[in-house]
């Protein structure tokens, strides 16, 4: 039995996938249709405090200082239910979560949010579990959160059971000086979020081809990262993003996440790399923002060129980040 009546604060970083996760083979357990790889983003993080108390009569959630909306509250409550079942407790929790990046920038927060929530909730119970287990538990809240537990460059093994589906680091953050320069094309909240999107993935005739070929892209992207071979890395990352968006666009109903400016940026990024030798490539998640992955030395040039494409374009930028960790009590 775990103890209650304690609190803990954890921080987890957002991550950007190079070989993407899209579609679940098991919706409840969030077992993904394919394995994926990513890097953590050191500049974008969520800090969450969890306090369990037998005296609380319900779970309570604040995000950035305000009471959370109903949808977010229900999702966090479901995740706390999974943790209550796992650790055999029935106490409720008070959860306070802060993102250091403004909500509504279109930068996904579910990965960092559920990784920080899981680590804080488990630590507040005073139990110690291995990193693989923490990653499995984070996965239950949001698939990509599994990848925000380990440090640096991370692979999430799809697995075909709860036990087999977890993420682990395959290279430290310092291994390669990549930077994610994010072009904030739209600040609008996405109309169809990734949880709903995963549900429709199998309706595209391209999904089976995408998942069947994912292991080859994982091998290729991992080997490019381990050898620091940017040219090879860029071609796999862009192809994988295009494949995922081809599935999205051909699902029923179709999901069109690209905006006209997203496409202009993608074309420009390829031109900058192929014609001018700038080490940069693009990848897009379930939204129009373009993640321009580049070497640290090219980050300022990439940001300036992006501003040149669209005046006033907001940009966020982040090097490779650490795994989730506990912050000292204040
Ligand atoms: O963890 P979710 O349900 O938010 O899904 C993430 C899906 C993508 O961001 C589009 C791809 C990925 O692998 O991160």
pTM: 0.96
Q: Which two tokens stand for residue 105?
A: 């920038």
Pairing type for strands 24-26 and 7-19 reads: unpaired
Closest CA to 173 of 39, 61, 2, 286: 39
Alpha helices in the chain (DSSP H): 70-87, 110-124, 131-141, 194-200, 207-227, 230-249, 260-276, 299-309
CB 194 within 8 A of CB 287: no
How many whole angstroms from 126 Cα to the centroid of ligand 1?
A: 30
Pocket of ligand 1 (CB under 6 A): 17, 20-22, 36, 108, 110-111, 142-144, 194-195, 198, 285-286
Q: How far apart are CA 115 and CA 323, in angstroms?
A: 9
- Ligand 1 closest atom vs CA 20: 13
Q: Which residues contact 289 (CB under 8 A, 6 or more apart)?
A: 105, 106, 107, 182, 183, 184, 185, 186, 262
Nearest-10 Cα torsion for 267, 269, 273, 276: 90
Dihedral angle over CA of 98, 99, 103, 108, nearest 10: -130
Q: Ligand 1 centre and the CA of 26: distance in Å?
A: 15
Q: Which of 144, 189, 195, 289 to mutate to test the pocket of ligand 1 (most atoms within 8 A of CB)?
A: 144
Q: Buried b vs exposed e over 186-221: b needs ≥16 C-beta within 10 Å?
A: beeebebebeebbebbbebebbeebbeebeebbebb
To test the ligand 1 pocket, which listed residue (108, 149, 154) has its Cβ within 8 A of the most ligand atoms? 108
From first to last of the 330 residues of the chain, give the pLDDT tens digit.
566 668 999 999 999 999 999 999 999 999 999 999 999 999 999 999 999 999 999 999 999 999 999 999 999 999 999 999 999 999 999 999 999 987 666 677 899 999 999 999 999 999 999 999 999 999 999 999 999 999 999 999 999 999 999 999 999 999 999 999 999 998 776 778 898 999 999 999 999 999 999 999 999 999 999 999 999 999 999 999 999 999 999 999 999 999 999 999 999 999 999 999 999 999 999 999 999 999 999 999 999 999 999 999 999 999 999 999 999 986
Residue 250 phi, psi dihedral angles, 5° rounding: -110, 15
Among 28, 194, 287, residue to substitute to test ligand 1 (most atoms within 8 Å of Cβ): 194
């Amino acid at each position: 039995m775990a103890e209650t009546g304690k609190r803990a604060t954890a921080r987890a970083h957002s991550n950007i996938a190079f070989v993407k996760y899209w579609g679940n083979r098991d919706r409840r357990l969030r077992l993904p249709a394919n394995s994926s790889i990513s890097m953590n983003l050191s500049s974008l993080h969520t800090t969450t405090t969890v306090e369990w108390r037998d005296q609380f009569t319900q779970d309570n959630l604040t995000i950035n200082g305000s009471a959370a909306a109903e949808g977010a509250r229900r999702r966090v409550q479901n995740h706390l239910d999974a943790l209550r079942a796992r650790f055999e407790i029935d106490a409720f929790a008070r959860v306070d979560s802060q993102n250091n990046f403004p909500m509504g920038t279109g930068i996904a927060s579910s990965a960092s949010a559920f990784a920080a929530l899981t680590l804080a909730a488990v630590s507040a119970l005073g139990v110690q579990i291995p990193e693989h287990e923490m990653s499995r538990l984070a996965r239950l809240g949001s698939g990509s959160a599994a990848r925000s537990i380990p440090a640096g460059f991370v692979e999430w093994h799809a697995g075909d059971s709860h036990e087999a589906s977890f993420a682990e680091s395959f290279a430290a953050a310092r291994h390669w000086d990549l930077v994610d320069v994010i072009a904030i094309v739209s600040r609008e909240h996405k109309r169809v979020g990734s949880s709903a999107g995963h549900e429709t993935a199998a309706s595209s005739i391209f999904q089976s081809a995408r998942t069947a070929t994912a292991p080859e892209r994982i091998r290729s992207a991992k080997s490019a990262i381990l050898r620091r071979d940017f040219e090879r890395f860029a071609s796999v990352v862009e192809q994988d993003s295009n494949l995922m968006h081809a599935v999205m666009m051909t699902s029923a109903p179709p999901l069109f996440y690209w905006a006209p400016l997203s496409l202009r940026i993608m074309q420009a990024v390829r031109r900058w790399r192929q014609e001018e030798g700038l080490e940069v490539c693009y990848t897009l998640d379930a939204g129009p923002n373009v993640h321009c992955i580049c070497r640290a030395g090219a980050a300022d040039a990439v940001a300036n060129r992006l501003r040149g494409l669209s005046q006033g374009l907001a940009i966020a930028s982040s090097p490779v980040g650490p795994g989730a960790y506990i912050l000292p009590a204040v």
